[in-house]
Structure 1
């Protein structure tokens, strides 16, 4: 396995070193059914290898379609690897389905299974959602693989999310990052300069344990016109809250789009604990109402954007393992901006006057949220 992994990495480096790479083409998916169908087609078209990482990979109506395609390609002799989080996919991918995958020749790893010898590592999860096919096509974003994101199987209350598909040298970079993580080096440094205007950033590397957080902080401090953030879990640390407040004070349009419906009440308590301070300083906060918003998008001005697996909270920025696509590609940023604008139309703005009229219980929940914010 080590020799094979080294050959893959060398292949990516040869791509990087042969002239100026072409800018990748991007396609955004806002509906799970369309995304899963596209992923299945890409897996079917694979000729060499398929690498899949997912925090939640459920063997339900959605997941079994992709699992069947993965097993079919493995039986054809392709290198098929599946990396799931042991906690996130614990009940969704039961032992019977894991046995079927391995019997078909699929290489399967479950990240950070429970161990009495290392109990604290169970707190660090693999939160990535990434599919790479032949090192040429990649999918990255917020969608897990489960029925909750499918209109067909879950109905109108399906989760609201966004995912990006891209190709070329950037997909090769994604594959190299998957391979490094697969080989037991979760803090491996990413490849550089694989695209003129885009790169993939893990949140933790050997040289910087909080790389993504530092990158975000730098962008917020340099903003001149707009900061638009969409995240289901909004629990920023003190430094990032300060950057948002300073930006709003200097006249920048700062908008936070989070979710009214949630799968984690304590995380929502922690988010709402900071609403008052932010609103008082000019930050506009919106809660998406129709269903659970699960998107992870950050836009700064008109020329910088990110989409990936990381939420705007302690867990994603300091604890879990994440991947984020950062880009100055105008076409991608335009698509992301339209997505956020559409979601803002279905969101209610939280005003300072209404926020001050909340009851006593809301204040108590705020206290609990502040106390738990680093563990959510």
Structure 2
């Protein structure tokens, strides 16, 4: 009798816990729905909570919370930075600009405050060796300050070369500031890599420092930007991280193909502005470093007198800055849309924009790696291929290694490159930054690089693609279902 009573008590307890947990799951689902977020993303979380109820709740509170509309900087400090930069309201746009580009410029200015800069010189890089050679040379010539941020700074030979240059410049009296991502640079953070910088006068800070349990919900928000500003004269922006694999010496899967650009001219002020915003957001003093005329040290630029904007985006955006720019650029294309991305996980709107452009006769090409650095993201990206091919989009799988470039080329006079992948994470969760170029010559340079990459790629045909194994199709479908939260 006593044993039966104990068993009845335990059964009641388990039933109470099960009912309580079911109520918790339903409450979390209600929260997800009430946030009125991207329907696909909400559906992804609801699916995860239903399929994995135990882990789903934990994952939601770690990865699923929103910081939309959170200001990175006060209005007063923003005005102070803009005054220091000498920024004026968006000027009357040059009549030589196409109607489509005038609309794109106004959009970037409206959603992200992206000012317009003329008279800039650009030098493009499509391989890590030349990029880091030029960057390190500029860093060695810094005389006043270096503001540098990367998603990944690895504790490998290339990372140590960068560290030693920064330490040498700090010892010489140059003000050196470094922002790294807490997750992306986790390996270097575990060693004394950053500590050695600090001990030698370099100001080093992670964008979001994680601690358990108070700050564990920051895990999903990452600073993915890759920007360097040197003395206010030279700036760099692109998709390359600081890691030896970009040099090709230790990449068993092939070369890492990426894109970056060196800027001299007034647009360096925009890179400096966004670095200052990030610096202030981390709780430090407002930076008002001077931006100066370039000294044109180095080789001849690839493009002269370019008209540029810099658009930053993040999970705190009201509008989803980069998503809107991509959508506007693609939907107003007249002749071509060429896209390179390491991960192809478009929102429904962006996918339909690409498909409608292709179906309307625009030359739409999408290039992605055959095998990315993530097996899960490879399967999820490839799940969109059949639909793209049916719409007439030309799909290329890059065979020479890991295609990490993030480039969009539209018609003959619009292009953008930077840190933004064509996926949910970049467009919804990461802090990103892209250079937007209204320059036909820049368009031609990037188009030539795209064509060179196409020579090392396989263009897919629908009949051949449909012959892939059934097991692969199943994996693609499963991972696509979760793509909004990957």
Aligned to 2:237: 140
Deviation larger for 354-363 or 4-13: 4-13
Aligned to 1:189: none
Deviation larger for 292-301 or 85-94: 85-94
Aligned to 2:146: 50
Give the 3 Å change call, closer, same or farther, for CA 151–359 of structure 1 in structure 2. Answer: closer
Residues 203 and 209 of structure 1 are in contact (CA less than 8 Å); yes or no, is this contact kept in structure 2?
Answer: no
Give the 3 Å change call, closer, same or farther, for CA 14–215 of structure 1 in structure 2. Answer: closer
Encode CA deviations 1:5-27: one digit per residue, 9 max, x unaligned. Answer: 9986543226999xx96521111
2:358, 2:309 → 1: CA distance? 28
Aligned to 1:32: 128
Aligned to 2:480: 370
Secondary structure of the corresponding residue to residue 235 of structure 1: coil
Q: Is 2:53 aligned against 1:12?
A: no
2:347, 2:78 → 1: CA distance? 37
Give the 3 Å change call, closer, same or farther, for CA 360–14 of structure 1 in structure 2. Answer: closer
Encode CA deviations 1:216-239: one digit per residue, 9 max, x unaligned. Answer: 101111011100000010100100
2:190, 2:248 → 1: CA distance? 24
Aligned to 1:174: 271
Give the 3 Å change call, closer, same or farther, for CA 207–86 of structure 1 in structure 2. Answer: closer
From 298, 315, 322, the counterpart of 2:408: 298
Residues 5 and 179 of structure 1 are in contact (CA less than 8 Å); yes or no, is this contact kept in structure 2?
Answer: no
Give the 3 Å change call, closer, same or farther, for CA 361–254 of structure 1 in structure 2. Answer: same
Secondary structure of the corresponding residue to residue 24 of structure 1: strand
Give the 3 Å change call, closer, same or farther, for CA 363–205 of structure 1 in structure 2. Answer: closer
Aligned to 2:260: 163
2:216, 2:250 → 1: CA distance? 36
- For the aligned residue pairs, the C-alpha RMSD in angstroms reads 2.5
Aligned to 2:37: none
1:43, 1:4 → 2: CA distance? 28
Residues 307 and 324 of structure 1 are in contact (CA less than 8 Å); yes or no, is this contact kept in structure 2?
Answer: yes
2:215, 2:185 → 1: CA distance? 20
* Structure 1 segments unaligned to the other structure (5+ residues): 187-194
1:347, 1:21 → 2: CA distance? 35
From 286, 299, 309, the counterpart of 2:396: 286
Aligned to 1:191: none
1:13, 1:255 → 2: CA distance? 39
2:363, 2:247 → 1: CA distance? 33
2:127, 2:146 → 1: CA distance? 22
* Structure 2 segments unaligned to the other structure (5+ residues): 1-75, 91-115, 284-304
Deviation, 1:288, is 0.4
Give the 3 Å change call, closer, same or farther, for CA 76–210 of structure 1 in structure 2. Answer: same
Q: Is 2:123 aligned against 1:59?
A: no
Aligned to 1:192: none
Q: Is 2:192 aligned against 1:96?
A: yes
The number of residues matched between the two structures is: 365
2:413, 2:80 → 1: CA distance? 36
Deviation, 1:145, is 0.5
2:481, 2:314 → 1: CA distance? 25
Aligned to 2:216: 119
TM-score (norm 1): 0.91
From 324, 349, 359, the counterpart of 1:249: 359
Residues 205 and 211 of structure 1 are in contact (CA less than 8 Å); yes or no, is this contact kept in structure 2?
Answer: no
Deviation larger for 7-16 or 287-296: 7-16
From 416, 441, 465, the counterpart of 1:331: 441
Deviation, 1:367, is 1.8
